[in-house]
Structure 1
Amino acid sequence: MLPAIYIIGCGGTIAGRAASQSELIGYQAGEVSIDDLIQSVPEMTSYASIRGEQFCNIDSSSMTEELLLQLARHVQDIAGRDDVDGIVITHGTDTMDETAYFLNLTVHTHKPVVLVGAMRPATAISADGPMNLLEAVRLAATPGAGEYGVLQVMNSTICSARFVEKTDTTHVHTFTDGQLGALGFMQDGVPVFYQKPLRRHTYDSCWTCPAEDYLPPVWILYCHIGMTAELIETAMERGIRGIVLAGMGHGNMPKYLLPVIKEAQLKGIVFARTTRAAGGIVSPVPLWPQMIGADNLSPQKARLLLQLALQETSDIEQIQHWFGEY
């Protein structure tokens, strides 16, 4: 019997439509239905029993926290079904890294959950979506693939939700696991793994998806020459619970901001330091007291982890521990 794969459609470039086959930028994302995408790759039925559902059909830059939470709860429900062996989520590439990581933190399952997208719309000459979708289905149908946590596959490269980043605005090979390298590759439709994530995920996570469509408000502030205190002051006025600083180098920021940061900390705002650099670890240091060192998480992933952490506690030591585990 073929494995049963459930495909959840969320839109994106893989479901994009342009005015001509040569148009690769000025297209509309989220125009093609998940049923049409499935029908465009009939070979999938040679490897799996396919069912599809249109969850949403949007440009992923329009993904909201409410939709993200609803998606996580829905994926958890589908993963709990006995008649489903694996899940594929078609998704826009702009925020795929965030959705993948959030699912990695909140969905408890040993079953494969695979995100996939495209860099060329469905109407393009040599569109990359069909092969990406076929490989995502074959990956999700692979026994044991769920032990790696939530996965992302495009251009035959298998990435971990924890580490995957979009590195190019338009090139087909845009997703990588950064300095750590890919988990593996799809070779003639078969996944070949070379490493396994050590950070906690999915079935081993201490979090479940919140029942309500709410996460504590956390901002990301990008550090730069001439940065002022205005946004931190505004965060205090608006009751923001956390701030992720995309710092210079090792998560640094202008030292003249320290007084307003201390004031914000006294008002309960939790700060996490990341880097605007392309890679590297940000550790807690005495120079920036009572601030989370976000390890090698990107600012946007650190924000999601901090939001989940702030639902449980504002204790810096505990949150720092979680940043080291996840």
Structure 2
Amino acid sequence: MSKPRIAILATGGTIAGVAANPAATDGYRSATLPIDALLAALPGLGDIAEIQAEQVAQLDSKDMSFAVWQRLDTRIRAWRDSGEVDGIVITHGTDSLEETAILLHLTQPAGIPVVLTAAMRPATAVSADGPLNLLHAVRVAAHPGSAALGVLVVVNQEIHAARDVVKLHTGAVQAFASPGCGPLGAVAGQQIRYGRRPVALAGIGGRLLGMPADWPWVEVIVSVAGARRQLVDGLVQQGVQGLVIAGPGNGSIHEALLPALADAWRQGVAVVRGSRSGAGYVTSATGVAAAGEHAAPGGFPATADLNPAKARVALMLALGTGEAGIIGAQGVPDALALQQFFEAI
């Protein structure tokens, strides 16, 4: 029986990092080792699948760019359309993995498995987690049960839906979780165990978004004690197109920011409320479609359970691809359409 064919697309990150001191897990150089070196550390990988690998990028994921996202999208589509692979694995840094994950969730169809993996310790560290994570990611990508589950993330023996997964710890190996819903499954030795299916497989209610030709400018603003409106005003004057507010609790917004955000909205800036809490559902406001209510506390559309970083990616895609109804005929955002967009992710 032939082995599954897996393409590995490398982008750098800690999984490809090198440290001068193997006993240290900080002070290392990220995105140093090429994908060939990572594969050489896994001599048994060829027993699981036929591997083809390419270096799509080599960067610390804190420096992730739109250009790399575009390149990654191009290479994923090329491998899928070629018919030459049964699954795709992407090695990635942990810092922005959740952003790339939601991007792929919204733009890539369910079908052949697309699996992201990463590491919290550099490749040269004592007890490095990257080799095992990569091995497990290949196992998951080669598993027939993974094909219809959308984009996946495999780290620390857990399998997460790309839509749900977030990084919740600065340095622990168990840094990733899916708050509120938990992982889809686990890698147990050589076995893949799935306990649930993701609620949303891909896109907006199954409809995929495209990659923008020009990425819109969307920023995250944190609502904190003593907040001032000048930051909002300055961004609007410079041409920002969208704002995600990372508010405390249920997406609350400081009263000093509300008038500035209402002014921004009237000037065509899409504003949405998220939470900086780390978990939970940000509820939408009653009567959010009424233009006169945007300056009221909580009167802006909510990001549901997407954290601010993920909500920013979603809003960029919506604005950049001209998602129907998000911006009204008069150039002012439509609050109800924007709320429905986030509810459908």
TM-score by length of 2: 0.91
Instruction: Tell whether the 8 Å contact from 1:132 to 1:156 is kept in structure 2 after alignment.
Output: yes
Aligned to 1:301: 310
Question: Which secondary structure does the structure 1 equivalent of 2:259 belong to?
Answer: helix
Residue correspondence of structure 1 range 73-152 to structure 2 within 5 A: 73-152=74-153
1:179, distance to aligned residue in structure 2 (A): 2.1
The residue that corresponds to 2:58 in the other structure is 57
Q: d(CA) in 1 for partners of 2:215 and 2:84?
A: 31
Query: Partners in 1 of 2:222 and 2:19 — Cα distance?
Result: 34
CA contact (8 A) 1:34 1:53 kept: yes
SS in 2 for 1:265: helix
Matched letter for residue 11 of structure 1: G
Q: Partner of 2:85: helix, strand, or coil?
A: coil
Residue-by-residue CA offset, 1:243-296 (whole Å, 9 max, x unaligned): 000011110111232222211111001111001112111122144476221001
Residue in 2 that maps onto 1:323: 342
**Separation of aligned partners in 2, 1:259 and 1:121:** 46
Residue identity matched to 1:207:
L
Give 5+ residue unaligned stretches, structure 2: 287-295, 328-333
Query: How do 1:245-260 and structure 2 match up within 5 A?
Result: 245-260=245-260
Name the CA distance, whole Å, in 2 between partners of 1:252 and 1:261.
13
**Counterpart Cα distance in 2 of 1:166 and 1:44:** 27
Deviations 1:189-216, CA, capped at 9 Å, x for gaps: 3211111111240593331223x3x211
- CA-atom RMSD, angstroms? 1.5
Q: What is residue 45 of structure 1 aligned with on the other side? A: 46
State how far apart, in whole Å, the 2-side matches of 1:196 and 1:115 are.
Answer: 17
Q: Please say if 1:12 is aligned against 2:13.
A: yes
**Aligned mates of 1:151, 1:264 — CA distance in 2:** 36
Contact in 2 for aligned 1:76/1:109 (Cα 8 Å):
no
Q: Give every structure 1 segment of 4 or more consecutive aligned residues whose post-TM-superposition deviation is greater than 4 Å.
A: none
| 2-11 vs 137-146, greater mean Cα deviation | 137-146
Shift of 1:23: 1.8
Q: Distance in 2 between matches of 1:84 and 1:191?
A: 20
**1:270 touches 1:291 (CA, 8 Å); kept in 2?**
no
Separation in structure 2 between the aligned mates of residue 269 and residue 283 of structure 1, nearest angstrom: 21
SS in 2 for 1:94: coil
- What amino acid is aligned across from residue 273 of structure 2 in structure 1? R
| Aligned-residue identity in percent | 36
Q: Following the alignment from structure 2 to structure 1, what is the Cα–Cα distance between the partners of residues 138 and 121?
A: 19
Flag structure 1 segments of 5+ consecutive residues without an equivalent. none
Alignment match, 1:243:
243
TM-score, normalization: structure 1?
0.96
Q: Counterpart in 2 of 1:231?
A: 231
Residues 117 and 153 in structure 2, CA contact (< 8 A), matched pair in contact too:
yes
Deviation track 1:15-57 (CA, whole Å, cap 9, x = no partner) reads: 0001121121110000111011111101111110001100111
3-state SS of 1:92 partner: coil
User: Distance between the aligned counterparts of 1:146 and 1:227, measured in 2?
Assistant: 46
1:175-254 maps to which residues of 2 (within 5 A)? 175-201=176-202, 204-210=206-212, 212=213, 214-254=214-254
Change (3 A) 1:253 1:290: closer
